[in-house]
Each structure stands twice: as structure tokens, then as C-alpha cells.
């Protein structure tokens, strides 16, 4: 008669006597296998995983609070809306158009000289400059003229409008450590359009991405005013979009050696190398 492998309900459980494990001297002296050692070494690591992965309190934290609108009943000032068509282009007269919007084909010195001729006796605004500076610009490039006396600095190139075409960045040295910074772009017809012109007492000029950064002394001793000029698609010009006043270190670090060399005109396929324009 065959017996069922399952124990019948209500029957007494069958037990076997527990035999003691005996280790022979040969087993004790045997070298354990590598997988056994790995398992034994991993046990402490596994035991500690629960505590290492747990959350630990960082203590009390300050409650976040949003900005509070002061004097909410006050009547605010109105901001005139921007023109629907943007600012009109300021095309440079007397300069031949370039091909394929390639500003590298334009002569930066001839560009500035054309603006001087178009705006004589202008001492304020984007075209303003002292009479002696205008005369020095007119004399640039002439026979017998010292090139180091030319106020027009070495140009730089960078895509500032985001159209994958370089813009032309020109600096003009003025008396009393002042500087005129101008940016030009080319439209689809090849005409050169000035999209930025500002005159400041400049500490340095920098390029950060598609922004032109001007550092100028602020009204408070020991502080600089940093202004970022960015391309505004609606206004079709560079506008000062961000300003920040920063404290100048007591011992500012002076750059070691000359800055990066500007890219030569007429080589638009070469990667942009200059990142900083600094006045001496």
C-alpha cells in the first residue's frame, strides 16, 4: 500500500533526530573557494546599505517667503510699449555691400571713416566724438601716419544676433580713458547696419556668449557697473538688458600676458577665438 506524500490532517508530525555536525581536520584545513570568500566579504556591506541610504535630518531650515509688494494701493508709473516695427536700421552710407552677409569683407577702418564723414561736428550720441579723435580717424592709414596713433582698435567678430553670421565689433579710443564701442551687422542685401553704439569710461569690454559686457566705474568708490548688451529681435538692435554693481577686489588680479589674438578679416570659417576686449 502506497502512502500519501502529504501528512493527513490531525496526525502527529514526524520528526527526525538532529545529528551534530562534525568537522574533520582535513575540512578545517581546506582552503575555501573564492565565491565563498566573496559572499562573506559582501555581508558587512549589505548589512550597512539600509542605514547609508536612509534620510538624515538636516535640522531646522528657514521658511521660504516670496516677495512682498509694498504700497500696493499706489498708482504705478506706466511703461510705453515698444514700437511694433522696432527701431529703424542705421545703415552706414558710403560702404559697398558685402556678399552673403559676410562682415569680414568690410574694412573696419573705412567703415568708421565713413561714419565720421556722414556725421561731421557731432559731439554727442552714438556718432559723437571729439574733433581731435575724428581728425585722427580721418588720418588713419595715410602715408607717414603712425599706425599706433590710430584710435580705431583691432576689430573682433562674433555672432551676436543668433543667425549664424558674425557681427563686427569695433572699439574707438577717446580721450580721458573713454571708449566708443560699436557693433555692425549685415542684412540679406549686404548693407552694413550699426546695431550698437555707446561711449563710456570703460574699464574693459568682454564677450560672453552673444552678449557684449561693459565694465565701467560706478558712482561709488571701489565698485564697478557691469552692463550686458544683448540683441533684441523686436527692436533689431543691441540693448542694455542687465546691469550689476560689483565690488572691486582690494588686490585685483591682473591678466598675465596678452589676450587672445583677434581673428583676421576674410576668414569666416575659422572658429571664434577672442573672448575679451580690454583697454590698455
pLDDT per residue as tens digits for the range 123-149: 878 888 999 999 999 999 888 788 889
Per the listing, cell 510699449 goes with 81
Evaluate whether residue 125 is within a structural domain.
Answer: yes
Q: Is residue 188 part of a domain?
A: yes
Q: Is the pLDDT of residue 255 over 60?
A: no
Q: Is 79 a member of any domain?
A: no
Q: Are 177 and 201 in contact (CB under 8 A)?
A: yes
Strand order in the sheet with 156-158: 90-91, 192-201, 178-186, 167-173, 156-158
pLDDT score, position 246: 95
Containing structural domain, residue 130? 90-249
Give the per-residue pLDDT at 266. Answer: 42
DSSP-H helix ranges across the chain: 25-29, 34-52, 108-118, 131-139
The confidence band for 15, taking pLDDT boundaries of 50, 70 and 90, is low
Specify which of 13-27, 134-148, 161-175, 256-270 reaches the highest per-range mean pLDDT. Answer: 161-175
Q: What is the pLDDT of residues 143-164, one digit of tens each?
A: 878 888 999 999 999 999 999 9
Question: For residue 49, is it within any domain?
Answer: no
In the predicted structure, residue 96 carries a pLDDT above the cut 50: yes
For 205-240, how does the pLDDT look when each residue is reduced to its tens digit (9 = 90+)?
A: 999 999 999 999 998 999 999 999 999 999 999 999
Q: How confident is the model at residue 268 (pLDDT cuts 50, 70, 90)?
A: very low
Q: Is 63 within a domain?
A: no
58 belongs to a structural domain: no
Residue 265 lies in a domain: no
Would residue 73 count as lying in a domain? no
Q: What's the domain count of the chain? A: 1
Amino acid at each position: 500500500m502506497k502512502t500519501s506524500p502529504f501528512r493527513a490532517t490531525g496526525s502527529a508530525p514526524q520528526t527526525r533526530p538532529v545529528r551534530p555536525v562534525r568537522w574533520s581536520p582535513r575540512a578545517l584545513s581546506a582552503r575555501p573557494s573564492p565565491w565563498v570568500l566573496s559572499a562573506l566579504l559582501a555581508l558587512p556591506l549589505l548589512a550597512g546599505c539600509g542605514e547609508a541610504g536612509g534620510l538624515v535630518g538636516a535640522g531646522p531650515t528657514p521658511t521660504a517667503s516670496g516677495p512682498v509688494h509694498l504700497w500696493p494701493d499706489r498708482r504705478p508709473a506706466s511703461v510705453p510699449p515698444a514700437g511694433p516695427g522696432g527701431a529703424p536700421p542705421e545703415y552706414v552710407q558710403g560702404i559697398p555691400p558685402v556678399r552673403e552677409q559676410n562682415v569680414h569683407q568690410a574694412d573696419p577702418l573705412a567703415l568708421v571713416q565713413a561714419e565720421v564723414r556722414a556725421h561731421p561736428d557731432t559731439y554727442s550720441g552714438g556718432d559723437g566724438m571729439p574733433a581731435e579723435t575724428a581728425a585722427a580717424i580721418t588720418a588713419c592709414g595715410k602715408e607717414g601716419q603712425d599706425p599706433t596713433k590710430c584710435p580705431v582698435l583691432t576689430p573682433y567678430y562674433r555672432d551676436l544676433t543668433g543667425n549664424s553670421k558674425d557681427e563686427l565689433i569695433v572699439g574707438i579710443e577717446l580721450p580721458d580713458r573713454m571708449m566708443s564701442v560699436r557693433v555692425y551687422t549685415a542684412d540679406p542685401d549686404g548693407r552694413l547696419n550699426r546695431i550698437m553704439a555707446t561711449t563710456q569710461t570703460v574699464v574693459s569690454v568682454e564677450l560672453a556668449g552673444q552678449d557684449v559686457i561693459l565694465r565701467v566705474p560706478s558712482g561709488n568708490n571701489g565698485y564697478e557697473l557691469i552692463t550686458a548688451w544683448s540683441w533684441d529681435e523686436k527692436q533689431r538692435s543691441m540693448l542694455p538688458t542687465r546691469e550689476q554693481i560689483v565690488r572691486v577686489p582690494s588686490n585685483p588680479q591682473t591678466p598675465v600676458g596678452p589676450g587672445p589674438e583677434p581673428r583676421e578679416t576674410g576668414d569666416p570659417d575659422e572658429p571664434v577665438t577672442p573672448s575679451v576686449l580690454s583697454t590698455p
